[in-house]
A and B are shown apart, each in its own frame.
Chain A
Amino acid sequence: AQSVTQLGSHVSVSEGALVLLRCNYSSSVPPYLFWYVQYPNQGLQLLLKYTSAATLVKGINGFEAEFKKSETSFHLTKPSAHMSDAAEYFCAAPGGSARQLTFGSGTQLTVLP
């Protein structure tokens, strides 16, 4: 069964520093992977998705993620953190059933001034 692991429940970076949020998946061939962002008291918003078209995926708000099959990883990065990036981030993949998504446990990103 597909599962998703996010390393680090809390990550803090300084404003302007690199953001790196880690996600590892389990499966022989995961055709699809997602990153969602959740701002306080809001629903989840899709940041980006991997659909096998390209290993480097660019999303909204300057984020990108690289699919690395050899490392079973789909880490989320942003070159320069902004205060507005403070939120919770979820990695997800199809799983559970044919119609479901399996979510990681989430990573809370704090951006320090």
Chain B
Amino acid sequence: SQTIHQWPATLVQPVGSPLSLECTVEGTSNPNLYWYRQAAGRGLQLLFYSVGIGQISSEVPQNLSASRPQDRQFILSSKKLLLSDSGFYLCAWRVPGRANNEQFFGPGTRLTVL
């Protein structure tokens, strides 16, 4: 069966510090991968998605970047965090080629920027 992991589960970082969040998927190959953010009181915002190693599409220009160094690994980064980067970050994956676009979500990372 497939599983998706995210770490860390929670993170408190000062403004201006770097960020690295990691997501890995097990039990599948060549998944489509996604990073979402939920800010307080707001819905799901798609940040990035990837259809393969090294292939990243950015949905919203901002202070963040993403990378996919391995088939089942997706990393969200920032060089300098802003207060507005606080939120709940979710990674998700999808079976490529499946018509319904169903996505499977990880447990999330709670980021607080102080």
> A98 vs B46: C-alpha distance in the bound complex, in angstroms?
14
CB <8 Å contact, A41 and B88: yes
Which residues on the A side are within 8 Å of B100 (C-beta)? 31-32, 49, 51, 94
CB <8 Å contact, A99 and B43: no
Number of A-B contacts (CB under 8 A): 55
User: Interface range on chain B: under 10, 10 to 19, 20 to 34, or 35 or more?
Assistant: 20 to 34
> Closest residue of chain B to A103, judged by CB?
B44
CB <8 Å contact, A32 and B43: no
Which residues on the B side are within 8 Å of A105 (C-beta)? 43
Residue interface mask A27-50, B partner, CB < 8 A = 1: 000011010100001111110010
Q: How far in angstroms is the closest Cβ of chain A from B21?
A: 13
CB <8 Å contact, B46 and A45: no
CB <8 Å contact, A100 and B49: yes
CB <8 Å contact, B43 and A104: yes
Interface presence of B102 (CB below 8 A): yes
Interface presence of B39 (CB below 8 A): no
CB <8 Å contact, A43 and B108: yes
> Closest residue of chain A to B101, judged by CB?
A94
Q: How far in angstroms is the closest Cβ of chain B from A10?
A: 11
> A14 vs B100: C-alpha distance in the bound complex, in angstroms?
34
Interface presence of A101 (CB below 8 A): yes
Q: How far in angstroms is the closest Cβ of chain B from A29?
A: 13
Q: How far in angstroms is the closest Cβ of chain A from B53?
A: 16
> Closest residue of chain B to A51, judged by CB?
B100
> Closest residue of chain A to B94, judged by CB?
A99
Q: How far in angstroms is the closest Cβ of chain B from A41?
A: 6
Residues of A near any B CB (own CB < 8 A): 31-32, 34, 36, 41-46, 49, 51, 90, 94, 96, 98-101, 103-106
Taking A44-B92, A90-B43, A105-B43 as given, write out 7 further A-B residue pairs in contact, using a Cβ cutoff of 8 Å, ordered by the A residue number: A31-B99, A32-B100, A34-B102, A42-B107, A99-B32, A100-B34, A101-B102
Residues of B near any A CB (own CB < 8 A): 6, 32, 34, 43-44, 46, 49, 51, 88, 90, 92, 94, 96, 99-108, 110
